[in-house]
Every structure is written in C-alpha cells, then in structure tokens.
Amino acid sequence: MSKPSFQIATIKGDGIGVDVTEATLAIINAAQQRVEGFSLEYNYISAGAGYYKETGSDIETGGEEAAGKADAIFLGAIGLPSIRYDDGTEISPHLRLRDRFQLYAGVRPIKAYPNAPQRLADPKAADIDMIILRESTEGLFYSAAVHNRCPVQTDNEVQDIVRITRKTTEKLHDFAFKLAQKRKERGGKGQVTCVDKANVFKSMAFFRQIFDERKSNFKNIQATYNYVDAQALDFIRRPWDFDVLVMENMFGDILSDLAGGLVGGMGMASCGEIGDNHGLFQPAHGSAPDIMGQDKANPLAAILSGALMLDYLADKSGVLSVENAAKVIEQAVYQGFKDNAIRPMEFGGDMGTKAVTKEIIKRIQQK
C-alpha cells in the first residue's frame, strides 16, 4: 500500500525568503523521515519582485493555477523596496492568491519560548500562548491592493471601504471556535475573544452580532469580548489570559505585530492563511534584502509556518503521521530554546540561518 503524498506549491520569493524556505524544507524533510508514513512533492513556482524585474510579470505563467492545484502553498517572502509596480505599490502576487482562493482565516500564533526575548517583566509572560485569527479578505483591506475600491478619491478627500459580509464572517467565527476546541483538547483554555469596535462602527457591531449567533453552536468554549483599543492595552497588561482572538483584517494586522513583539519579534511570527479548500503558509516577516544570502536570517518564523502547514494537511487528510511530523518540529524548537541551544542572531545570539537549522534537524533525528 502506497503512503499518502502531498503536493506543495513552493514560492521562495525574494531576499531572505530563499534562505528561510530552504531551511524550512530541510526541517520538514527531516521530520518526514523521522515519523515516516507520508511523502511530500515540491512544485517550485517563480514569483516576486526579482522575477518581476527580470520578466515584467510578478508570477510565472500558470503559477496561480499551479498553486491552486497543490495540497498547500508555502511562501518564503515577497517584495524588494527598490522594485515596484508602475503605480508605485509593492509587488504582491501573494495578495492575489489570498483573494483568488478566499483565504479568509489568517492564523497568527503567539507563543513564548524559554530563553527567547520576553519584553514584559512580569514572569507570567512565560505563559503567553495564543492565536490571533485575522480575517484576511475583507475589512478595511478590502479597499486596497487587489480590489482597489475607493468611493471618493480627490485632491481634497479620500475614503476607503470597510466590508464585513455574513458569509465570510460566519465561517471565520466557526473557524475560531473550532480552533479553540482543538487547542482545548491539547490543554488550551478553550476561549475565543471577539475583538472589535462595536461601540462605534456598524460594521463592527455586525461582526459581533454574528459572533453571538455562532457561539451558541460551541457550548464548551468560553466567548469573551474586547474593544480593539482595550485589547492593545491588555496585550501589555495581561496577554497570558488570552487563547484565540478573532478580529477584522486591519485590527489583526496591527495587533499581530504588537503581540509578536512580546515573544521576540517577527523572526518568530509564523502565519497560515486558510480557506475552505486551500491553505497558504509563510513567515509574517518581510524579505529583509539587506541580509539576504548572509546566513543571518532567523528561519524560525518560516519553520514554525511549515509546522502549521503540516498540521493543516493532517486536518485536511486525517493522516496521523503528518500531524506527528508537525509535533516533532514544534517540540524540537521548544526544547532547543529551553536548552539554550537555539540562539538566533536576531536575538543577539551567535547562530545564523544554517546553524539554527542544523540544530533543529539534529534534535528531530534524535529518537
């Protein structure tokens, strides 16, 4: 009987995207060899600012279609400051992928690791373990990038649209409660916090109304609320009290960076963007072209995004060995920090991309 095989559309992209993608694939391959029971095939797709400079296109012909046929998409990083579209905006084919495949659930884990920088003095900061769930196709970002919808744009005034639809928001809130259920089974708090500005905006009141409607289907999960400004304050006062937080696109963009800063910075910021039929996984950081190819990049955000991808494939397929591979990676990273064996240069340590990758692979291979 042949073992399950999964197709991964792989876009290395620009800058350190190349470095961290190669590190991630090496880690995933080590985990796959450790647990066995499945195989991965990588379909490489050229895209990004460098590709745009060479060809005039931001993704290779047929690249979007190929990504859609894969079981998952992995992206390193895209964008270079000196290369823009003719209208001056950043090269962003990944935003089209997000819109094309309706990747509405932006999953941003925020977890404190031993010996990694913790910006809060309170010892409870060591217990930070939450997920920001950012709606990724609507909200204030609906006006920008792919849709470019601006109802008023003159030399005297510009207006943008905040779009909240029932169809997408119902799916988002259900995703949040199911995610909290899964985390509860693994020892999590079993809590979802709706973060909004329902006291001011009708769109946000609608977002909260739908949250209230959907929570009744998940009686074993605690539902709580916070206005976005109060949530920013609470990320400084008591971030360890939160589990899954669900919010609009722009709120999620801002708060995920703030929360990421509590546990070390963008080098730890993994990300999954998930829809009904597709999932795209990438580190939340940029391409950092100033250090590309210098063995200085922290690959952990990408590596942890790779673990998220495996967890997604396991949920989608029911293949237990894929879930075990994700756990092996997560445990190797956690234990590596605990033993002070992972010391990224980003945090003032002495280990570059290759050294961090080598250490994690060594730990994965230990049985």
**Residue 356 vs residues 266, 329, 336: alpha-carbon distances, Å:** 16, 13, 9
pLDDT of amino acid 1: 60
Average the pLDDT over 195-217 and give the result. 97
Tell me which residue has tokens 């005034």: 157
Write phi, then psi, for 51 (nearest 5 degrees): -65, -40
Asked if the model's pLDDT at residue 97 lies above 70, the reply is yes
pLDDT of amino acid 137: 93
**Domains of the chain and CATH, by start:** 1-103+266-367 (3.40.718.10), 118-262 (3.40.718.10)
pLDDT of amino acid 159: 81
- For residue 75, give the nearest of 100, 42, 105, 39 by alpha carbon: 42
Q: Tokens for 199?
A: 């006291």
- For residue 12, give the nearest of 2, 1, 4, 23 by alpha carbon: 23
pLDDT of amino acid 351: 97
The string over 274-285, giving b where at least 16 C-beta atoms fall within 10 Å of a residue's C-beta and e elsewhere, is: bbeebbbbbbbb
CA pair distance 268, 142, nearest whole angstrom: 27
Asked if the model's pLDDT at residue 216 lies above 70, the reply is yes
Cβ proximity of 280 and 272 under 8 Å: yes
SS3 250: helix
- For residue 12, give the nearest of 65, 50, 56 by alpha carbon: 50
Read off the pLDDT of residues 121-153 as tens digits, 9 standing for 90 and up: 999 999 999 999 999 999 987 766 555 666 777
pLDDT of amino acid 200: 97
pLDDT of amino acid 87: 81
pLDDT of amino acid 144: 67
pLDDT confidence of 266, banded at 50, 70, 90?
Answer: confident
pLDDT of amino acid 255: 97
pLDDT confidence of 367, banded at 50, 70, 90?
Answer: low
Asked if the model's pLDDT at residue 24 lies above 90, the reply is yes
Read off the pLDDT of residues 267-321 as tens digits, 9 standing for 90 and up: 899 999 999 999 999 999 999 999 999 999 999 999 999 999 999 999 999 999 9
Read off the pLDDT of residues 147-202 as tens digits, 9 standing for 90 and up: 566 677 778 888 888 999 999 999 999 999 999 999 999 999 999 999 999 999 99
Read off the pLDDT of residues 321-354 as tens digits, 9 standing for 90 and up: 999 999 999 999 999 999 999 999 999 999 999 9
Q: Tokens for 154?
A: 């003159």
Residue 333 CB coordination number (10 Å)? 25
Asked if the model's pLDDT at residue 77 lies above 90, the reply is yes
CA pair distance 211, 208, nearest whole angstrom: 5
- Among 53-62, 83-92, 104-113, whose mean pLDDT is lowest? 83-92
SS3 247: strand
Q: Tokens for 184?
A: 């509860």
Cβ proximity of 191 and 242 under 8 Å: yes
Average pLDDT over all residues of the chain:
94
